[in-house]
Structure 1
Amino acid sequence: MRAVILAAGYGTRLQRDVELDASGQFSHLSGRAKPLLPVGHCALISHWVHALSASGCVEHIYVVTNSVFHAAFEEWAAGFSMVHILNDQTRSNDERLGAVACLQLAVKHFEIEDDVIVIGGDTLFREDFSLGRVKERFCELQSLSEANCLLLSYQCKDEETHKYGILEVDEDLRAICMKEKPLPTDTASRRACPCFYVFSKRSLPQLDTFLEEMREAPIERKDAPGNFVSWLIPRQPVYVQEICGRFDVGNLASYVECDQYFRAKLQDVTSYMV
């Protein structure tokens, strides 16, 4: 199994918040990619590398970034032999390829023909999350069919459904559909879907099909990886594993919450997410 960490975003909301912060307390975050922000004792993305390595889930970790942050990621990756950096060659948010295209770029560049864990580079999970349990569940699904894929979900509040992709599932926890940022009245489900997917190798050719269908669509239709997941669900079996929550570093407030948790509340750093 391989892992692809999507880290080609430009963090425009967070950088705007840092620039507007009059205290100067967060000036050290200016111009830094979100996955490289310090969270607790290390960079946010380093938590993933430590956990993926310790769990033995993957052989290689591929990080897709952009030209602006490429050098910084290369410097960071020098400390990890299993990490490989890929530059998507964009230099601004307006030029961005979109997360699905970045995933496709990694699959083609590294000639991936294996099952893939896809991780949002600005996402971390609560301590109940375990890569070992994810691997175990995925292996169970693969024993039933090599086409099976796996998503995560957690319960969000009624007033939060419009922020997330919301999964609807059947009694076997197979996804029926994912509604993108629905109103609470649009669905009875409160299953938010974070950017963490385990795609079977049988599903990877679907990336080409999706992007070809979306070739003329605006970037918003193909940027978020959840758009591909929504498209995939009716075409291939996708199942759900439940977790209790996540940290999504989108703006300064969410970064501060995440950093404080890892500094003050994380109980066991060495086994975190393993």
Structure 2
Amino acid sequence: MKAVILAAGYGTRLQRDVSADRSGRFAHLVGVPKPLLPVGRFPLITHWVRALNRSRTVDGIYVVTNALHQAEFLRWAEEFPEVQVLSDQTRTNDERLGAVACLQLAIKHFNIQDHVVVIGGDTLFREDFSLGAVAEKFCGLQASSEDGCLVLSYQCGDRETQKYGILEVDRDLRVLRMKEKPEPSETESRRACPCFYVFSRGTLPLLDSFLQEKKDAPLEEKDAPGNFLSWLIQRKPVYVHEVSGRFDVGNLPAYLECERYFRENLQEETAYMV
């Protein structure tokens, strides 16, 4: 199994918040890509690499970034010889390829023909999350269906459905459909779906099909990886693995909440996410 960490975003909301702050407390965050933000003792993305290595769930880690931040990621990766960094060759938010295209780029560039864990580079999970447990559940799915894929879900509040992709599942936790940012009245489900997916090797060619189908669509339809997931659900079996919650570093308040938790409350650093 391989891991692809999506880190090519430009963090426009976060950087807008940082620039608007007049206290000077966050000057050190100006221009820092979200995966490299300090969270506790390490950059956010380092928590993922450490957990992936310690859990031994993957035998390859690939990071997709952009040309603007490539040098920063290459400097970071000097500590991790097992990590390979790839640039999508864009330099502005308007040029961005979108997360699905970045995933496809990594698959093709590194000739990946294995199952793939896709990780959002601005996301971390609560301490009940375990890569080992995810791998074990995925192996169980593979025993019954070679095309089976796995996603995470956690319960969100009524007022939060409009922020996330919401999964509707059957009694076996197979995903029936995904609704993108629905009104609370549009679905009884409160299963938010973060950017963490395990795609079976057999689903990887469908990235080409999806992007070809959407080639003339607005970037927004191709950017969020949840759009591919919603499309995939109608074609391959996708199941849910439940977790208690996540940290999503989208803006400055969300980042501060995440950083404070890791600095003050993280219980077992060496076992985190393993």
Counterpart of 1:63 in structure 2 is 63
Instruction: Write the distance in 1 (CA, Å) between the matches of 2:248 and 2:24.
Output: 23
Counterpart of 1:115 in structure 2 is 115
The answer to whether residue 86 in structure 2 is matched with residue 86 in structure 1 is: yes
Instruction: Write the distance in 1 (CA, Å) between the matches of 2:240 and 2:268.
Output: 26
Counterpart of 2:245 in structure 1 is 245
Instruction: Write the distance in 1 (CA, Å) between the matches of 2:265 and 2:195.
Output: 23
Aligned residue identity for 1:152: L
Counterpart of 2:10 in structure 1 is 10
Aligned residue identity for 1:139: C
Counterpart of 2:128 in structure 1 is 128
The answer to whether residue 180 in structure 2 is matched with residue 186 in structure 1 is: no
SS of the residue 2:140 aligns to: helix
Counterpart of 1:174 in structure 2 is 174
1:69-108 per-position Cα deviation (integer Å, ceiling 9, x unaligned): 0000000001002100000000000000000000000000
Aligned residue identity for 1:174: R
1:116-142 per-position Cα deviation (integer Å, ceiling 9, x unaligned): 000000000000000000000000000
Counterpart of 1:144 in structure 2 is 144
Instruction: Write the distance in 2 (CA, Å) between the matches of 1:26 and 1:173.
Output: 42
Counterpart of 1:216 in structure 2 is 216
Pairwise mapping of residues 26-65 of structure 1 onto structure 2 (< 5 A)? Answer: 26-65=26-65
Instruction: Write the distance in 1 (CA, Å) between the matches of 2:242 and 2:162.
Output: 20
Query: Unpaired runs of 5+ in structure 1?
Result: none
Instruction: Write the distance in 2 (CA, Å) between the matches of 1:258 and 1:206.
Output: 34
Aligned residue identity for 1:31: G
Counterpart of 1:204 in structure 2 is 204
Instruction: Write the distance in 2 (CA, Å) between the matches of 1:177 and 1:151.
Output: 13
Instruction: Write the distance in 1 (CA, Å) between the matches of 2:196 and 2:74.
Output: 23
| TM superposition shift of 1:233 | 0.2
Aligned residue identity for 1:248: D
Query: Unpaired runs of 5+ in structure 2?
Result: none
Counterpart of 2:24 in structure 1 is 24
RMSD: 0.3
SS of the residue 1:9 aligns to: coil
Instruction: Write the distance in 1 (CA, Å) between the matches of 2:61 and 2:24.
Output: 35
The answer to whether residue 258 in structure 2 is matched with residue 255 in structure 1 is: no
1:247-273 per-position Cα deviation (integer Å, ceiling 9, x unaligned): 000000000000000000000000000
Q: Runs of 4 or more off by more than 4 Å in structure 1?
A: none
1:181-237 per-position Cα deviation (integer Å, ceiling 9, x unaligned): 000000000000000000000000000000000000000001000000000001000
Counterpart of 1:153 in structure 2 is 153
Aligned residue identity for 2:41: H
Query: TM-score normalised to the size of structure 1?
Result: 1.00
Aligned residue identity for 1:122: D
Query: TM-score normalised to the size of structure 2?
Result: 1.00
Counterpart of 1:264 in structure 2 is 264
SS of the residue 1:270 aligns to: helix
1:27-65 per-position Cα deviation (integer Å, ceiling 9, x unaligned): 100011000000000000000000000000001100000
Aligned residue identity for 1:41: R
SS of the residue 1:259 aligns to: helix
Count matched residues: 274
Aligned residue identity for 1:203: T
